[in-house]
Structure 1
Amino acid sequence: MIWAVIFDMGGVLVHMHASNALLAAYDALLGLEPGSLRMRLYSGPAWEAVSKGEIALEDYWREVGEPFEASLPPEFLGYRDNFFRATLDLATVRLAWRLRSRHPIGLLSNATTILARDIATEPRFAGLFDAVVISAIEGYRKPEPEAFLIAAQRLNLPPDACVLIDDKERNTEAARAVGMHAVRYEHALQAEWALRAMGVRVD
């Protein structure tokens, strides 16, 4: 039986299309191929290191942003510092709150330490999560099995009593490999019906 629901952040509770559009505009401004900034920011050794807590956030921004810093407008700092607050997927946040009345709710995210600050200061998340697992704090990233096991442990449940909602297939497959249930997220309504099909009570 599934007792707890674990949400991913980026691409689930936070939607990515506004972020992608903004980064595409910065690509055009800098004369880069579409997707260049997103690739530089969110893949590669620097991103993996900062999201596992191996380098400081300041060092990460220095490494990925320094070549473009003089050409980027001051507004880029607003994207960098407030991306999370600006792009909440409110339908999915509402789904999490509906589930909260019957199930423990967890968060499992590959993210930097700044996510902990953002969760603490976002009123729509106040009291939502029973467990928060952030890769930069724990030292493990999805799809490493340890990340899923830590999330289940923080909820005081075995993996097979938890379901992960994540937008990346590699993460849902890895969750299933450790015994966890998983839903490949597309949008809030699809996730809700997938949970109902698993016997999870939503309301």
Structure 2
Amino acid sequence: MLKNIIFDFGNVIMNYDPNEILNHYQLTPEEHQLLLKNIFQSKEWLEIDAGKITEDEATEIFLSRVPQKLQHKVKQIMTTWPGNVDFYEPVFHYISDLRKDGYHIYGLSNTGMRFANFVKDSEMGDYFDGYVFSAQEKLVKPDPRIYQVLLSRYFLKPEECLFIDDLSANTRAAQEVGMDAFTFKIDKLGDLEDYIAEK
């Protein structure tokens, strides 16, 4: 019996698109591409998610790679980018409905602690019964151990869980630890609603 529904964040409850994030920062096309490459497409960005370095440590590395005139933009982006993500309102409405129907809602995301704390400190936190964030655990999906962290921390039975992610590698990993899983895109919200309704 399905009792717990676990959501990834990027491209499931929000549109994670670095190009769209950078559009908030008054950059020339050249500056945009330079910061896209040196921040969001860098190996350090992945290391933030993995908990290997902090956002502050990464910022110092990024600052060393850009012209001095762009350094204030790097600092601004690194401290404010979570607030410049577009969240999918229909998904949050659906999560509210699921909670009213008695389901427990959890988050499981590959992300650094700056975004994790933004979520926990905002009204979004009211939608979730608990979270696991990769940087905090120093584990990233699809490592099966991060799913086990969620299950053990919140005393969940895998056969009572549905995991929703936009990447098939991550949903396959959830299935391998015994969860049901659904590979999601925003245009599949209706399919997800039908899938859960049949449970």
The amino acid across from 2:8 in the alignment is: D
Matches of 2:188 and 2:144, distance apart in 1: 26
| Number of residue pairs aligned between Structure 1 and Structure 2 | 195
Structure 1: 5+ residue runs without aligned partners? none
Indicate the RMSD between aligned Cα atoms, in angstroms: 2.7
The residue that corresponds to 1:147 in the other structure is 146
The residue that corresponds to 1:177 in the other structure is 176
**TM-score, with normalisation over the residues of structure 1?**
0.80
Matches of 2:175 and 2:107, distance apart in 1: 17
The residue that corresponds to 1:97 in the other structure is 96
The residue that corresponds to 1:28 in the other structure is 29
The residue that corresponds to 1:70 in the other structure is 68
SS at match of 2:107: strand
Correspondence for 2:46 among 48, 56, 68: 48
- The alpha-carbon deviation at position 55 of structure 1 amounts to 1.9
- The alpha-carbon deviation at position 2 of structure 1 amounts to 1.6
Structure 2: 5+ residue runs without aligned partners? none
The amino acid across from 1:11 in the alignment is: N
- The alpha-carbon deviation at position 77 of structure 1 amounts to 4.3
Matches of 1:115 and 1:22, distance apart in 2: 13
The amino acid across from 2:20 in the alignment is: A
**TM-score, with normalisation over the residues of structure 2?**
0.82
The amino acid across from 2:58 in the alignment is: Y
8 Å contact from structure 1 (residues 7, 106) kept in 2: yes
The residue that corresponds to 1:127 in the other structure is 126
The residue that corresponds to 2:108 in the other structure is 108
